[in-house]
Structure 1
Amino acid sequence: MASGLDSVEEILRDDSALAQTAKDLTAGTAGGIAQVLVGQPFDIVKVRMQTASAGTYAGMGDCARKIFVNEGPMAFYKGTLTPLLGIGVCVSIQFAALQSVKRTFAERNLRAGRGGTGGEELGAGQLFVAGAIAGLANGVVSGPVEHIRIRLQTQPASAPLYKGPWGAISTIYSQHGLAGIYKGQVPTFLREGVGYGAYFWAYETLMQREMRLRRCRREEVPALWAVGFGAAAGYALWATIYPFDVLKSRIQTDSFGASRQYKGTLDCARKLWAAEGVRGFTRGLGPTLLRSPFANGATFIAFELAYRALS
């Protein structure tokens, strides 16, 4: 009689829609965990620079030094539990949505007699739309996850407002309800839709090109190429969405209620432009660009390796 583990493996190796979704979610979770572990130290520097008053930090190195001196080395992983759990879920949703839409487009291509073998060679528009849908699906979870993470990353070390992620969720929800948890959701959706359209377009275009050049299937492309493709995809992501990310961070660290500084996304953009001009929308870009190839390379190689192991 087959063991429980054997039964799970049989389910995962089944080609049914449910089993395929399970593969997508599992591989996406692996990618999300890798992304958080590699990218979190860079992310906290980015958030601190995005949300601090002008002149607080002389640059990326100064910000990192002050965090290290004032709060210790573990401060670079402050608020990590939330993204480790949440971003794993986010990225799994993201990849599951992406793969599902890609399969839908491949079926349409096959019926129309285009897209190569199995219709799987998607056009640029199809890849962008698949990525945008994946980003919007992901945004439902990533918005509150990043809100809680940013609150924890920016709270004062000497007098913290929240005792960990669950304390932050409980306090915010009790005082401001679900709307408080989803604070900053408009720029989050703008960021996810546009950014992940560009992100997955870049990655999948490079992967398809490699498959054409090698005349091979996806699983035959060396897994290490995913690191380079992921790095390029990360730069495509941030090149298109960084201003949205700044607005999201500003709104998510703003006060609640009558004492809040911004009335909404447009008001935040207008006030930031009036106060700092273009510089205000690019603050923290240095650590983001430094983080991007490492975090996104780790995301995609973890996804590819996990997906191939399950297939």
Structure 2
Amino acid sequence: MSTTVTLEGKVAIGDNAGSAKSSSPSSSQKNAQYGLKFVGAALSNMVASGVSNPLDIIKVRQQLRTQTPGARANAFWSVGLEMARKEGVRSLMGGFTASMLREVVYSGLRLGSYEYFKDKLYIMSKGALSREGLGLKVTAASIAATIGSALANPADLVKVRMQAYYPQGRPYRNTPHAFAAIWREGASSGSTIRGGLSALYRGVDATTVRGIILSSSQICSYDQVKQVLKRRGIMEEGLGLHLTASLFAGLFCSITSNPVDVVKVRLMTDKERKLNGVVDCIRKIMVNEGPLAFFKGFGMCWGRLGTHTIVSFIAFERIRMLFGIDPM
């Protein structure tokens, strides 16, 4: 009879020694789990985005308006009622297909690869970065968000364009037509490929910055709140903990990301190129509308991001459970 001491310090006797060695997941099993986390993150955020799409489009409309901040005409109920009356109730689901495509790339990567980068950075630091520390979490979330935001920018741009208001009528029939029209819009001012790609990547700098700020504040605060509540014995793993942590995360990321979101939306809908990049956009908003303009649409931003955060994290935790993966 053989005796084996495992990494956890437990002793396995006889035939059980082999099973003890295999208790820790192999490299292929870990990679499979990372893949399932990507799928789970994409699916959960698609569900959340579908639920919050009407709030998202109202938020975009508010951010594009230039009235005095707080003016009644820019209140979310005024914008929503005006859309339903003039464009029909279906207008509240504008950009839905592009939004789903964006979530697969953007959220699949920013949330789905968060733990991958967290694990890799921890190993690379050789313990210098604590698993419980915010430094590791923020760095991992920032890397994941940078990749996801940059790759998803074309879908994000199409979504915003399809959600904007056009007095002369909608210029885009559907999502494929919007992609093609924006490509042609860029190609007309430069070489076919370079000009088309530059048009689809309009506002990518603001999109990436927003993605980093949002993901760092949203994912890290969710992770941190869960960790603190569990460590102090206030709550146990389950729906109540997931709801509580996501409520905090939704509010925090709404506050931090709204100003960048306003700049991003303005740049993405600037078809006539009146804005010369992020700095010029910020300057013109400050001069023409004042600093409170950066928080235009905050009510809808919080309503949308808060709803999206709650639904996405609860769904993500449920999907992980179905896939046999430990809670986040």
TM-score by length of 1: 0.85
Corresponding position: 1:112 with 2:127: yes
Q: What secondary structure is seen at the aligned counterpart in 2 of 1:261?
A: coil
Q: Distance in 2 between matches of 1:58 and 1:108?
A: 49
Deviation sequence 1:100-159 (CA, Å, 0-9, x none): 0122244467x53995xxxxx420111111111121121023322221011111143762
Mean CA deviation greater in 266-275 or 289-298: 289-298
Instruction: Identify which of 288, 295, 314 aligns with 1:301.
Output: 314
The 5-angstrom pairing of residues 267-282 of structure 1 reads 267-282=280-295
Give CA deviations for 1:203-239 in whole Å, capped at 9, x if unaligned: 11011123313499xxx71034222212211222122
Whether the 8 Å contact between 2:122 and 2:136 is mirrored in structure 1 is no
| Alignment partners' CA distance in 1, 2:77 and 2:217 | 29
Match of 2:113 in 1: 97
Per the alignment, do residues 52 and 212 of structure 1 end up closer, same or farther by CA in structure 2, a change over 3 Å counting?
same
Instruction: Report the number of matched residues.
Output: 288
Q: In structure 1, how many angstroms separate the alpha carbons of the residues matched to 2:220 and 2:170?
A: 41
Pairwise mapping of residues 1-311 of structure 1 onto structure 2 (< 5 A)?
16-54=29-67, 57-107=73-123, 112=127, 121-156=131-166, 159-176=169-186, 177-214=196-233, 221-255=237-271, 259-311=272-324
- Paired with 1:86 and 1:241, the residues of 2 have a C-alpha distance of 18
**Secondary structure at the counterpart of residue 307 of structure 1:** helix
Query: 1:265 Cα shift?
Result: 0.6
Task: Say which SS state the counterpart of residue 118 (structure 2) adopts.
Answer: helix
Gaps of at least 5 residues in structure 1 are 1-12, 116-120
Opposite residue 179 of structure 2, the aligned amino acid is I
Q: Matches of 2:152 and 2:291 in 1, distance apart?
A: 26
Contact between 1:210 and 1:221, CA under 8 Å: does it hold in 2?
no
Q: CA deviation at 1:269?
A: 0.6
Quick check: 2:129–2:135 contact (8 Å CA) kept in 1? no
User: Offset of 1:196 from its aligned partner?
Assistant: 1.3
Query: Greater share of helix residues, 1 or 2?
Result: 1
Q: Percent identity?
A: 22
CA distance in 2: counterparts of 1:215 and 1:281, whole angstroms: 37
- CA, structure 1 residues 114+140, in 2 after alignment: closer, same or farther (shift >3 Å)? closer
Q: Distance in 2 between matches of 1:208 and 1:233?
A: 13
1:97/1:133 contact within 8 Å kept: no
- State how far apart, in whole Å, the 1-side matches of 2:128 and 2:287 are: 53
Shift of 1:292: 2.6
1:114–1:170 distance in 2 versus 1, CA, 3 Å: closer
Which residue type is aligned with residue 100 of structure 1? Answer: Y
Find the residue that maps to 1:262 and give its secondary structure: coil
Asked whether the 8 Å contact 1:144–1:182 carries over to 2, the reply is: yes
